[in-house]
Amino acid sequence: MVDHANNDEGPSFVIANLPRGRNMWDRDFEVEKIWKTLENDNVLLTACRRFGKTSIMNKMKENPQDDFVCFMFNVQSMKSPHDFVAALYEEICDDGKFVSFIKKAKKITKEFLGRLEKLKISMLGIDLRESKSSDWQDMANKFVNVLSAYDGKLLFLTDELLEFILNISKHHSENEACDFLNWFREIRQSDKLSNIRWLIGGSIGIEHALKKVGAKVHMINDLSIIVLKPFSDKIGREYVEALLKKEGNFSTIPSGIVEKILTTIGSPVPYFLQILIKESLNAMNESGESTLTDEIIEEAYHNNVLGPASKTYFQHYYDRLSEYYDRDEEKIAKHILRETARTGRYSGSQ
């Protein structure tokens, strides 16, 4: 395990993009746990938004283990099962290691891709998204059977599956969403595809998303669920110290300042810690101070982190209530959030 606390360069702020290298702090235990589980099972990696599940998936793609060849794609903006199959196909076609396999696949897939109108994708020049066939399952099954011919292990890291399911329901129908979920379960359990593993990323609340499209929990109960949690107190403290030294250019950090940041932010989630530290350092510089104080951190938290300028950091949490819950549940959830934000707690008596 890398000792980040002794890394002289330290991590930098990476709030909008995926952290890589020294900016991807720790999570070694979680990554090892996922690889171990993938030996025998497919995995659903679930967490609250901005907890770092996409970063972990990307780290695994860049550092594959156990001879896996990894492909990663985000399905959040896709709207149909055709899009999903096309994304799989494009990822494989764009990987240089699969040249010989692609040539073999080209010969096989001609049997079921002759109906396609446009020729666009990669070296095969095939656009699955232009298919006029309504029988996407037939096309998908023939394609995944091609994958079974690959002499090696494949890992598909599929991020934001729940958003994709909701999109299918919205743009097509609930039946179409359920059909996809049933098909996806079948290929995960197929003996012919034992060389393939799936790591699926999804936000907390999967049961509500399934309920919204009329799906049953059994459609995902074959997945081994791993819940991504915030940093431990120890790792969170090390991360705050390293980030302050790097971004604040401090040689030493008073333990009281580290504790103040951790206490103010609550659960040590790297995304939230970065925002508070960044705003605190900005407030320190604007006030002409050379070091952080409790007062500066407190002011930065209330005026900047919780202020209108930072709304874009957190608005998606609020917006997603309408996506995951029905109208009555959404109203109740928003009432609880407003009351908790106003008083610091919710009694449940109102």
Q: pLDDT tens digits, the chain, 350 residues: what are they?
A: 334 444 457 899 999 899 999 999 999 999 999 999 999 999 999 988 888 999 999 999 999 998 899 999 999 889 999 888 888 877 887 777 776 776 666 655 555 444 433 333 433 444 455 444 456 787 788 778 878 888 889 999 999 888 899 999 999 999 999 999 999 999 999 999 999 999 999 876 777 778 888 888 889 999 999 999 999 999 999 999 999 999 999 988 888 999 999 999 999 999 999 999 999 999 999 999 989 999 999 999 999 998 877 767 666 666 666 666 677 776 777 777 677 766 665 566 55
Distance between CA 39 and CA 56 in Å, rounded? Answer: 17
pLDDT at 82 (0 to 100): 86
| Rounded distance between C-alpha atoms, residue 81 and residue 83, angstroms | 5
In angstroms, how far is CA 25 from the centroid of its own chain?
16
Contact indicator for 49, 9 with CB cutoff of 8 Å: no
Q: Residue 31: which H helix or E strand, with range?
A: helix 28-38
Q: What angle do CA 156, 158, 162 make, to 5 degrees?
A: 150
- The answer to whether the beta carbons of residues 133 and 141 sit under 8 Å apart is no
Report the pLDDT value the prediction gives residue 66, as an integer from 0 to 100: 83
Query: Which strand (E) or helix (H) includes residue 90?
Result: helix 81-93
pLDDT number for residue 122: 37
**CA atoms of 252 and 263, how far apart (whole Å):** 20
Helix (H, G, I), strand (E, B) or coil at 156: strand
Say if residues 4 and 15 touch (Cβ distance below 8 Å): no
The pLDDT value recorded for residue 86 is: 81
